[in-house]
Amino acid sequence: MTIILFIYGTCIGSWLTAMADRYAIDASPYYPASHCDTCQTPLAHWQLVPVFSYLLLRGRCHYCHTAIPATTFIMEVTVGLLLTMLHPTTGTHLIWLGLWAFAALCDARTQTFPGWISYATLPFVLWGHTPLTILLTLIAALSIRLLWPRWRQPLLGDGDCEMMLSYLLLWGMTATARWILLASTLALLQRSASRRIAFLPYLVISATCWWLWSETR
Ligand SMILES: [Zn+2]
């Protein structure tokens, strides 16, 4: 069962990366079939097997030898590992993490992500909370949506705030503090020359690390 879940996970990871690539260039998710981004050659079936194909191709396109981003391989392995930890109580949390991982992949490429993700993740985190918490969360989410476009040079993206709100509701204050601390440390270590960085990827990496930490203890 673990192996089957791992295989499913690698497929989902591969699919999420491909969808984010297509979101970045505003291409259709369905058409054309998988191809090399550089030489545009359609990929053969043996080049589409998650994890395996990347290793077999040694991380390069079979035709033009352009390097395939390591993100693809890392996402396939990580989502595969996460899915092996699927049990009835973790299912919704995994979907939540998967949706935010997709947002992070889009953020890394374009510093934007599809806005529906914030709304789609809310039901997962509001489940089981009191009506008052639900009301306050909806007000907070709406405020972020209304206020951020008016803020000329926001220090933090609206998506980052929405994910923080989500995480807070799921795991509580202490967990949120250590989660943001790790994400900020990772972002500082990787600091690029650009003044604006995509922060969602660091938040998702940190969330995945804390998840693995809590699951393996
Ligand atoms: Zn190519």
Whether 91 is in a domain gets the answer no
Identify whether the C-beta of residue 66 lies closer than 8 Å to the C-beta of residue 36: yes
What total number of domains does the chain contain?
Answer: 2
Whether 117 is in a domain gets the answer yes
* Mean pLDDT score, 8-20: 93
* Mean pLDDT score, 127-139: 91
- Reported as a single tens digit per residue, the pLDDT across 50-108 is 999 999 999 999 999 999 989 999 999 999 999 988 888 788 888 999 999 999 999 99
Kindly compute the dihedral angle of the four CA atoms of residues 138, 144, 147, 152, in this order, to the nearest 10 degrees: 180
Whether 2 is in a domain gets the answer yes
- Reported as a single tens digit per residue, the pLDDT across 119-130 is 899 888 888 889
- pLDDT at residue 55, rounded to an integer: 93
Ligand 1 centre to CA of 183 (Å) is: 34
- Does 39 share its domain with 132? no
Q: Which of 64, 84, 104 is the last residue of a domain?
A: 84
Domain containing 140 equals: 112-217
Tell me, letter by letter, the H, E, C secondary structure of 197-208. Answer: CCCHHHHHHHHH
- Does 51 share its domain with 132? no
* Mean pLDDT score, 191-206: 84
Ligand 1 centre to CA of 99 (Å) is: 29
Q: How high does pLDDT run on average in the chain?
A: 89
Q: State both tokens at 121.
A: 């993740």
Ligand 1 centre to CA of 67 (Å) is: 9
- Does 118 share its domain with 76? no
* Mean pLDDT score, 8-29: 91
Helix (H, G, I), strand (E, B) or coil at 26: coil
* Mean pLDDT score, 160-176: 92
**How far apart, in whole angstroms, are the C-alpha atoms of residue 101 and residue 12?**
11
Ligand 1 centre to CA of 65 (Å) is: 6
- Does 2 share its domain with 60? yes
Whether 104 is in a domain gets the answer no
pLDDT band at 192 (very low <50, low <70, confident <90, very high): low
Contacts of 108 (CB under 8 A, 6+ apart): 20, 71, 198, 200, 201
Handedness of CA 155, 158, 160, 166 (dihedral sign): positive
Identify whether the C-beta of residue 73 lies closer than 8 Å to the C-beta of residue 105: no
* Mean pLDDT score, 20-44: 88
Ligand 1 centre to CA of 52 (Å) is: 18
Ligand 1 centre to CA of 111 (Å) is: 26
- Does 61 share its domain with 153? no
